[in-house]
């Protein structure tokens, strides 16, 4: 396992009594050969001084967005590009609000808004502030934007109250970072590959009419993005959708189940397969070359046949079975019970069960509410949240499973 040696950390010091702990964290970083640059916010300066920070980091402390002395030396974009990771410590309730609405009012918020790096927030505030609906709502928004969080912990706070709101200690933050970089490094070295199916399929009866469903492709797309963010080489095989896909993701667009199956087969071998597509179960046996006339008797008698089952093919593939096969299960009743049956029938490692009977989650919504079920029947339910948030949880569970699997094999 590697350490944090030579990593570059940009530390944004916020305005809270716990700001003084930034100095202990910097000391820990320097002892472990981590390069640290800092941005001191205006309110952070009420608690720690630029001189004490610079003495420890041996680097200049950045303060003002319009600093004539430093803008030529390093601008706000370059500061973020330089870093391997950005930390905001302490993250106050007020700072969370600014981030959740995308404010860029000073150097710190501008750097964060313009950043393409992962950002770790370390909240510290009074317990009532933390549990206030506004803060909890901001937490959800920020998690959805992809911010990472450590803490807050339970304990006695500076104001004398007890509860959740105490900032994680420098040691806890340091060990979180060690795990974070170790995992990134491990994934990079393993060169894991994943394929994800998403969206509906269209099965044409004639050149203009087809059988399909309401799937937008969002949930699978978000899972693909989340896997990629973990450093896994990911290919998305997507049925017809209006989504605008990120240029950074490898995507193959398909129309029918037959094409989807063809692309899946072409993408093997992979370590992970996630089948989020709502593949049409049936297709017309014959597709008419020309548009079928309205009065044609053919419409009274459309013959259908079963489409190939892609998930089934993957999980029962003796020669090239992905190490982790994940299915989705769309149900409108007895969701858990029916999905537990499906995990056995389809022989997959995990099944993500979603209730698709409601309009505000599941098909064609930005939200979903899922239960993650494993082969032993253990159920982890995730309350309704953005599909991106749910995708991150699923991707992390898959990665942990894969790493454990690899450890057992090696």
The residues of the shown chain that bind ligand PMT, judged by CB under 6 A, are 197, 199, 215-219, 257, 275-279, 281, 307, 309-311, 327-330, 342, 354, 356, 362-364
Q: Which is nearer to ligand PMT, 192 or 363 (CB)?
A: 363
Q: Which is nearer to ligand PMT, 5 or 306 (CB)?
A: 306
Identify the helix (H) or strand (E) that includes residue 266.
helix 257-267
| Burial class of residue 347, CB neighbours in 10 A (0-12, 13-18, 19+) | middle
Q: Is 159 a catalytic residue?
A: yes
CB of 391 to ligand PMT, least distance (A): 10
Report which DSSP code applies to 200.
B
Beta bridge partners of 361: none
Q: Which is nearer to ligand PMT, 143 or 215 (CB)?
A: 215
Per the listing, tokens 């304990």 go with 155
CB of 353 to ligand PMT, least distance (A): 8
Q: Which is nearer to ligand PMT, 87 or 223 (CB)?
A: 223
CB of 215 to ligand PMT, least distance (A): 4
CB of 200 to ligand PMT, least distance (A): 7
> How far is the CA of 368 from the CAs of 136, 241, 374, in angstroms?
19, 18, 19
Orientation angle between helical segments 21-31 and 50-57, nearest 10 degrees: 10
Catalytic residue among 2, 77, 78, 159: 159
Beta bridge partners of 162: 156
CB of 286 to ligand PMT, least distance (A): 19
Rounded Cα gap, residues 194 and 228, in angstroms: 9
Q: Which is nearer to ligand PMT, 57 or 354 (CB)?
A: 354
The DSSP annotation for 293-320 comes to PTT-GGGGG--EEEPP-HHHHHHT-TTT
Nearest CA to 386 among 118, 145, 199, 99? 145
User: Annotated active-site positions, please?
Assistant: 159
């Amino acid at each position: 396992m590697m350490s944090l040696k030579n990593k570059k950390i940009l530390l944004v010091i916020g305005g809270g009594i716990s700001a003084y702990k930034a100095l202990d964290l910097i000391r820990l970083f320097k002892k472990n050969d981590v390069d640290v640059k800092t941005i001191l916010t205006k309110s952070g300066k009420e608690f720690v001084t630029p001189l004490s920070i610079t003495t420890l980091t041996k680097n200049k402390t950045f303060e003002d967005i319009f600093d004539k002395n430093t803008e030529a030396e390093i601008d706000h974009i370059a500061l973020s590009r330089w870093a391997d990771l950005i930390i905001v410590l302490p993250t106050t309730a007020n700072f969370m609000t600014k981030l959740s609405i995308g404010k860029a009012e000073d150097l710190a918020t501008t750097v964060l808004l313009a950043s393409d790096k992962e950002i770790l927030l370390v909240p510290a505030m009074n317990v009532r502030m933390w549990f206030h609906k506004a803060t909890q709502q901001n937490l959800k928004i920020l998690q959805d934007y992809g911010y990472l969080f450590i803490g807050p912990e339970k304990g006695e706070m500076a104001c004398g109250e007890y509860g959740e709101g105490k900032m994680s200690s420098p040691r806890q933050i340091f060990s979180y970072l060690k795990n974070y970089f170790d995992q990134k490094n491990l994934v990079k070295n393993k060169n894991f590959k994943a394929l994800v199916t998403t969206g509906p399929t269209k099965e044409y009866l004639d050149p203009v009419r087809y059988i399909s469903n309401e799937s937008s492709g969002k949930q699978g797309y978000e899972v693909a993005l989340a896997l990629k963010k973990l450093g896994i080489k990911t290919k998305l095989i997507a049925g017809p959708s209006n989504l605008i896909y990120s240029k950074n993701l490898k995507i193959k667009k398909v129309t029918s189940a037959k094409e989807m199956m063809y692309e899946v087969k072409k993408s093997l071998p992979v370590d992970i397969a996630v089948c989020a597509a709502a593949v049409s179960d049936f297709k017309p046996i014959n597709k008419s070359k020309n548009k079928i006339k309205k009065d044609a008797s053919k419409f009274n008698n459309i013959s259908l046949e079963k489409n190939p089952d892609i998930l089934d093919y993957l999980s029962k593939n003796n020669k090239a079975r992905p190490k982790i096969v994940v299915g989705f299960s769309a149900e409108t009743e007895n969701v858990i019970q029916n999905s537990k049956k499906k995990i056995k029938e389809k022989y997959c490692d995990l099944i993500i069960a979603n209730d698709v009977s409601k309009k505000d989650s599941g098909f064609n919504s930005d939200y979903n509410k899922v239960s993650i079920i494993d082969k032993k029947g253990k159920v982890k339910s995730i309350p309704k949240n953005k599909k991106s948030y749910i995708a991150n949880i699923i991707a992390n569970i898959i990665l942990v499973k894969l790493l454990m699997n690899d450890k057992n094999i090696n």
